[in-house]
Structure 1
Amino acid sequence: MAARLFAARWSRWLEKRIPPARQVLLNQRRIFILPTPQGLLFGVALLLMLLAAINYQNSLAYGLTFLLLSVGLVAILHTYRNLAGLQLTAGEASPVFAGEQAGFRLRLQGNGRARHDIALGWPPAPLERVDVAADGSAELELFLAAKRRGWLRAPRLRVESRFPLGLLVAWSWVDLDLAVLVYPRPLAGALPPAPGIGEDEEPGVAAQRSGVDDFQGLRAHQSGDSRRRLHWKAWSRGQGLLVKDFAELHGHDLWLDFDSLGGDREARLSLLCHWVLQLAGRNQPFALRLPGVLRPPASGAMQREACLRALALFGEPASPAGVRP
């Protein structure tokens, strides 16, 4: 209980000190610094050396002790300066499906100073390390597991440096307002037939009728067939009088209806997600009906993205601003 209360207070304090932003510049208010375990051992060793120097009144021991102490003090400055002035910018994140890894792109700029061995990530997972040139920038992609559909909002990002000696760690917790849309996990399964499709037809597949769009093969000549469709090469080879047969697709307006499916809500959404992907891949027009949501029949990439977004946000906040990790 006490740990949870402390975590809540720490989170509120960070919200005020380092508010969420798509671009963050690290300065003295946003950087914390403490000794590492190696730094604590270094300090204990210096204390023992100082006691030995006092006990034996040895000038060389005094000199070595204060030399190492000055190295430690300089390390404090260099560890802090390795983060101070570093600018972090959030990039765009592409939508993923539940169960996949969501990638978040970040850009780091040195702003006139080279940065060495900058580590970023979300503990307890291992941190990614990167160097930044003085007048350049570095880009990297960090990943989080997308366990459920809806908005996935990344928690505060830890940025740290132990350069140059590893005796101290300077770090910051920044909120770059990173969020990615997570689609439902596709679940293969059959949908009920669309209105007008016979029982012997596959749901979601357009029927055919005579037309002039797609060449289907050759058939025997019948009275009334156009002479333009005669296959003269077959007749010259003694195969008889054959006619080129064409067909065109005429589709039914296929409605993907949430209420017509069985199972729980997430299973229905996963099934609909699978069929949205299948029909969009065929470039076949379809419509989507959810409680309170209606997407009219259409095809193409825009219809696919709009339907996947509707499935992802069904019953969820429409904006990542209302989603907290």
Structure 2
Amino acid sequence: MTDEERWRASIDQIYTYGNSQYPEWRVVAVKSIRKLLFNLEEFYGDMLPDLEYEGSQVDIVHGQIRNGWFYEAISQAEQAIEDLFSTMMNLENLSYFAKNVVQYNATKVKKYIWKFDVEDLEYICGQFRVPYFPLDEVWEKEKVFDSYKEAVLRTQGYLKELKEFHRKYYVDYCQYKHGLAVALSPAENPIMKGDAERINSILKKPEKCGLWTFHQGTVGDYEKRTGSLPALGIILKQDMQAHVRELHDEGNLLYHTIHLADIDEIVSITEKACILLNVLWKNIIGVCMEKDTDDFREVAFPSETLKRYFVIGFPRD
């Protein structure tokens, strides 16, 4: 097989793959969760007899179930971010599209996201198949230049937000996805006992949630894994107090972090990831459709609205 034959065959596979995608699914998922969070009582009303358990001091629908949905929303947002960055990472050589894009290495994707240079505009443009021009050199057609500059900076801003969000909630996402390391019933801890009225009043605020996530290992292990020190919490009972240091040093100390999550922020982040993924695919398909006889290449740029983008034509030379 010649390089040209491999390229043509890869284009066929790119079309098959791209036409089968529905990137908006992550957005649908988090918006569905948001709608559910504001209608928990109605949705779970006829299920309550099967959900209640003896001894709980909190409203389980607005407590454990609500907390679980927040973790699921965070998971969808994190996966939307990984969808975008893994696509960029694996589409660098389009001739080997099928070999690279379907494979998924979570560790490799994480490293790619965290090392992604969001300050380098030329690099960002290259990743999105967008021609790079310095933003301090105005074109003859100023309105077109202003649109170009605004879109490039919007892309950079979105990427910064996505990278920051992914780092902040990555461990919460992993602990939820891979094991029983999330506390969906933190209000059931002894330290919280006796104040059910206050707890339930807090839980019934549907838009925000504290993600209470357990960790194992030392604080150094956490820093190595996340790149930051944890704002950790420990519930110290009598038989633990004298042995905290030893338990910590042997990686046998149970501690937790609490991250505040807002469902509207989760929806916004997921939409931005999807907006950029859609634009990336538009430009990938555009590269595949190019002909040697074309004088211009149309390039897609992101807007602030899902499913909307605008196009600028650039001379191919």
Class of the TM-score when normalised by the shorter of the 2 chains: under 0.3
TM-score, with structure 1 as normaliser: 0.24
**Pair member with larger Rg:** 1
Is the helix fraction higher in 1 or 2?
2
Is the strand fraction higher in 1 or 2?
1
